[in-house]
Amino acid sequence: MQQLSVLILAAGKGKRMVSDLPKVLHQVGGKPLLAHVLATASGLDATARLVVYGHGGEAVKTAFTGEQDILWVEQAQQLGTGHAVTQAMPLLDAASVVLVLYGDVPLIQPATLQPLVAEARQGRLALLTVELADPAGYGRIVRDERGQVQRIVEEKEATSAERALREINTGILAVSTEKLRRWVAELKNDNSQGEYYLTDVIALAVRDGVSVEAFTVAEPTEVQGVNDRRQLAELERFYQTRQADALLASGATLLDPKRVDVRGSVQSGKDVVIDINVVFEGTVRLGDRVRIGPCCLLRNATIGDDVEILSHCWIEGAEVGAGAQIGPFARLRPDTQLAAGVHIGNFVETKKTSIGPGSKVNHLTYVGDAEIGAKVNVGAGTITCNYDGANKHKTIIDDGAFIGSNSSLVAPVRIGKGATVGAGSSVSRDVPDGGLCLTRAPRKDVANWERPIKPTKR
């Protein structure tokens, strides 16, 4: 079978975005437009992925430094789609078939493209088209009386009869690399825009007796390009509808599928319930029967079975054990590990902290760089003083310890097994197992105290 090269055109300026950021770096679903197209290419088992870049090229390349196997082709001047393809020719394997995609058409699916690639492997030219109610601005597909595709005419060159055609060119095509190489070498720029039109290769194929097969995509949004921020917003909504549908299909209840956003991937268990305005970022895993209240953000988190997350929680880089209860208004920061049945209550912040089974940190507390055992109770207003202005230090609280309210644990410090810290203590030395630590200043009482009074004005 012939190998597949995917050639992604992404040199356009994207002026209508009114942005310093190159267009293909704008995001849908938390990922650059170009990343979606590259992922689709990978989904097709492409052996080579080429990107033609121009405007803001260095920024685009930098954004993808993690992906080693992309072949970057510079098009210094944007002289048209045909010219862009010509620039890539020296890097394309002549024995392969090539699929041309656009870097600003992010939602195209591998399943839609598969038949085009198969057709190209049969020696034909495959073209992806779509019927639009309003075809303005696009190249029109011109067919003969038998319905065979003859050529593509760009809007600016079209007669009024041609302008009435509603089948348009998506720009996506597949053909043998060797044939495309011959045809792009013949392109001329004697048209109204002075550009080398890739679309002119259709007529050259017909001339050479290569049959042209048009595949029509049913869902126009899949081939919708991004030219301005309105279109970007439309694609975002369409993409989010797809994500919500996938969550519903996997057995999650969404109280409103329009008010959940997935900017990454969510793997959801059975009978999960997600309230409104929940945002997922990065990689999130939800166990069975997880309940998430309104207005929460979960980023790179693993949530165990039967966990309940109440409203307004920020959960990032955390692992939450089965049956835990979080929030409302809790913030779990990276490297938080909560064992089964842990309770984290309102206005509690955790960072780089592990908390053992059944422990409770219920109110107004900060625990950072801490190791907390099982069945520990951390009282309201407790602070681990983990930072001395230069370095971070660790706090260890052993199993069964009880930390009274409003205590400062000045790290490095260890609270022993079953030990008790009295409310309002400032603890800067270790507390032995089973001991009580109290650092309160002794109480002083003065009877019949007379408060100072203001002198009376005359």
CA distance linking residue 81 with residue 70, whole number of Å: 20
Instruction: Single out the segment in contact with ligand UD1 by CB under 6 A; choices: 59-67, 100-108, 272-280, 424-432.
Output: 100-108
Task: Tell me the two tokens of residue 121.
Answer: 């492997």
- Partner from Ca ion, ligand UD1, none contacting 21, C-beta within 5 to 8 A by type: none
Determine which residue in the list 3, 27, 42, 78 makes contact with ligand UD1, applying CB under 6 A. Answer: 78
Query: Which single residue brings its beta carbon nearest to Ca ion?
Result: 225
Task: Tell me the two tokens of residue 42.
Answer: 């990978």
Instruction: Single out the segment in contact with ligand UD1 by CB under 6 A; choices: 36-44, 167-175, 314-322, 326-334.
Output: 167-175
Helices (H) then strands (E): counts for the chain = 8, 34
- Partner from Ca ion, ligand UD1, none contacting 11, C-beta within 5 to 8 A by type: ligand UD1
* Residue carrying structure tokens 């996997």: 250
Q: Please report, as a single letter, which amino acid is at residue 218.
A: A
Angle at 104 between CA 103 and CA 108, to 5 degrees: 85
CA distance linking residue 427 with residue 411, whole number of Å: 9
By the rule CB under 6 A, 12 interacts with ligand UD1:
yes
User: For 162, phi and psi rounded to 5 degrees?
Assistant: -70, -35
* Residue carrying structure tokens 């279109």: 231
Instruction: Single out the segment in contact with ligand UD1 by CB under 6 A; choices: 42-50, 164-172, 284-292, 414-422.
Output: 164-172
CA distance linking residue 86 with residue 99, whole number of Å: 14
Determine which residue in the list 225, 287, 304, 357 makes contact with ligand UD1, applying CB under 6 A. Answer: 225
Report the 10 Å Cβ neighbour count for 355.
Answer: 28
Contact 161, 134 (CB under 8 A): no
Distance of closest approach, residue 193 Cβ to ligand UD1, in angstroms: 8
Q: What share of the chain is helix, strand, coil (3-state, %, to 5)?
A: 20, 35, 45
By the rule CB under 6 A, 9 interacts with ligand UD1:
yes
- Partner from ligand UD1, Ca ion, none contacting 169, C-beta within 5 to 8 A by type: ligand UD1
Task: Tell me the two tokens of residue 394.
Answer: 């660790």
By the rule CB under 6 A, 197 interacts with ligand UD1:
yes
By the rule CB under 6 A, 103 interacts with ligand UD1:
yes
Distance of closest approach, residue 96 Cβ to Ca ion, in angstroms: 26
Determine which residue in the list 84, 128, 142, 361 makes contact with ligand UD1, applying CB under 6 A. Answer: 84
Closer CB to ligand UD1, residue 201 or residue 401?
Answer: 201
Q: Pseudo-torsion of CA 132, 179, 206, 134, nearest 10°?
A: 10
Task: Tell me the two tokens of residue 281.
Answer: 């970022």
Distance of closest approach, residue 151 Cβ to ligand UD1, in angstroms: 11
Report the 10 Å Cβ neighbour count for 445.
Answer: 5
CA distance linking residue 129 with residue 126, whole number of Å: 10
| Site for Ca ion, residues 210 to 239, rule: CB under 5 A | 225
Distance of closest approach, residue 248 Cβ to Ca ion, in angstroms: 33
Closer CB to Ca ion, residue 225 or residue 357?
Answer: 225
Task: Tell me the two tokens of residue 239.
Answer: 């993409």
Nearest to 47, CA basis, from 105, 8, 101, 96: 96
Instruction: Single out the segment in contact with ligand UD1 by CB under 6 A; choices: 6-14, 179-187, 260-268, 285-293.
Output: 6-14
- Partner from ligand UD1, Ca ion, none contacting 203, C-beta within 5 to 8 A by type: none
Instruction: Single out the segment in contact with ligand UD1 by CB under 6 A; choices: 197-205, 240-248, 289-297, 354-362.
Output: 197-205
By the rule CB under 6 A, 309 interacts with ligand UD1:
no
Catalytic positions are 363
| Residues engaged in binding ligand UD1 (CB under 6 A) | 9-12, 52, 75, 78-81, 83-84, 102-104, 138-139, 152, 154, 168-171, 197-199, 225
What does the binding site for Ca ion look like in residue numbers (CB under 5 A)?
A: 225
